[in-house]
Amino acid sequence: MVKEAQLLKGAEIAKQVQEEIKTKLAEIKSKYGESPKLVALQVGAQSASELYVKKQKDTAESLGIQYEFVLMDEKSTEADVIKKVRQLNQDPKIHAIIIQMPMPAHIRGNHILSAVDSHKDAEGVHVDNMGRLVLQTAKVAPCTAIAAVRLAESTGINLFGKEVVLVGQSKIVGRPAAFLLLEHRATITICHTGTAKAGKLEDHVRRAEVLIVAVGKPNMIPGEWVREGAVVIDVGINRVDGKTVGDVDFEGAKKRAAFITPVPGGVGPLTVTMLMKNVVQAYLWQKGEFGDDE
C-alpha cells in the first residue's frame, strides 16, 4: 500500500500563529494602552475581493485588531486615491494599510502602492520593504510568501542546504519567498517561462526537496515529476469544471510527496493571518521596537 503525503492544512498553522499574535497584542495593550488599526482601501466595487475583505475583517476582530474598510468611488482619479492614502499615512491612529487590488483601469496600482508609508505597509509590497527583504532587514514581507515558507517550516524539516525549487517568479510569492528561504541557507532555484520554454522545468522540479508552485495554471506540474519524500507547497488557485484546483496534480503528487498542501485549504487560510502578523509588526516598527531602522 502506497503511503500518501501528510496534508499541510493552513487553518491549523493559522491557529498557532494567531496565538502568537494574541500574546503580542496583549503586550501592546499593556504597554501602549491601545490596539493596532488596519485600514483596507478599495476603489470601486470588486466582487472578487468581497470574500477576502470579509476574512480580513473577521480575522482582525477575532484577534483584537481594529479594522476599517474605506470604499472610494470607482470614478475617483489617481490623484484622489493618492491624496486619500496620504491622509491615512498621516493619521497616527492608523498603523497599517492594505490596498485592495485590482484598481480600476485608469489608475496605476503600483503608484498607489508606492504612496503608502512603508512603515504602514500591511502587505509588505512597498518598494522599500522589498529592498529590505533583499538586505535581510525586513520587518514586513508579502503575506502569501510568508505563509508558504511557514508551511514548509511547519513540517519540521531543516531547510538548511535543502534543494528548494520555486515555480513562478511573482513579486508577491516567488521572489520574496526565495529571499525568505535564503535566510534558512536553502539552495534556491527559481523557474519561470524561460525555464519551461527551454524544456528544463521537469528536470528542476524532479530535483526539488521542497517545491513551491505559484503560477496560476491548473495542474501544470504532473504528479510524476514530484520527488519521492518532497515537501510540496501549492499556492495556485484555479477553477476547473466548477472545482478549485492548484497548480500541481494533487492526486498524483500526494502519492510521492511526504507533505503537501491541499487546494483549497492549504496556503489560503494562512495568508490572512500573516497579514495580521504584518499589522502587528508594522505597529511595533512605528513604536521603535526594532531599534535603528536600516
Residue with cell 476574512: 55
Q: How far is CA 288 from the centre of its chain?
A: 24
Grid cell for residue 237:
488557485
Same domain as 153, residue 110 = no
Nearest to 128 by CA among 145, 116, 143, 112: 116
How many domains is the chain built from?
A: 2
Q: Could you tell me the CA-to-CA distances from 127 to 180, 198, 287 in Å, in that order?
A: 16, 31, 21
Whole-prediction pTM value?
0.94
Type of residue at 106: H
Same domain as 113, residue 150 = no
Same domain as 113, residue 69 = yes
- Grade residue 1 by pLDDT with cuts at 50, 70 and 90: very low
Q: Which residues pair with 253 in a beta bridge?
A: none
DSSP character for 258? S
CATH at residue 201: 3.40.50.720
Q: Which residues pair with 2 in a beta bridge?
A: none
CATH at residue 42: 3.40.50.10860
Helix, strand, or coil (residue 272): helix
- Torsion of the alpha carbons at 56, 104, 142 and 96, rounded to the nearest 10: -50
Domain that holds residue 70: 34-119
pLDDT digits (tens, 9 = 90+) for 58-109: 999 999 999 999 999 999 999 999 999 999 999 999 999 999 999 999 999 9
pLDDT digits (tens, 9 = 90+) for 150-174: 999 999 999 999 999 999 999 999 9
In a domain, 161, yes or no: yes
- Other C-beta atoms lying within 10 Å of the C-beta of residue 213: 28
Type of residue at 171: K
In a domain, 8, yes or no: no
pLDDT digits (tens, 9 = 90+) for 178-203: 999 999 999 999 999 999 999 999 99
Same domain as 43, residue 103 = yes
- Grade residue 51 by pLDDT with cuts at 50, 70 and 90: confident
In a domain, 178, yes or no: yes
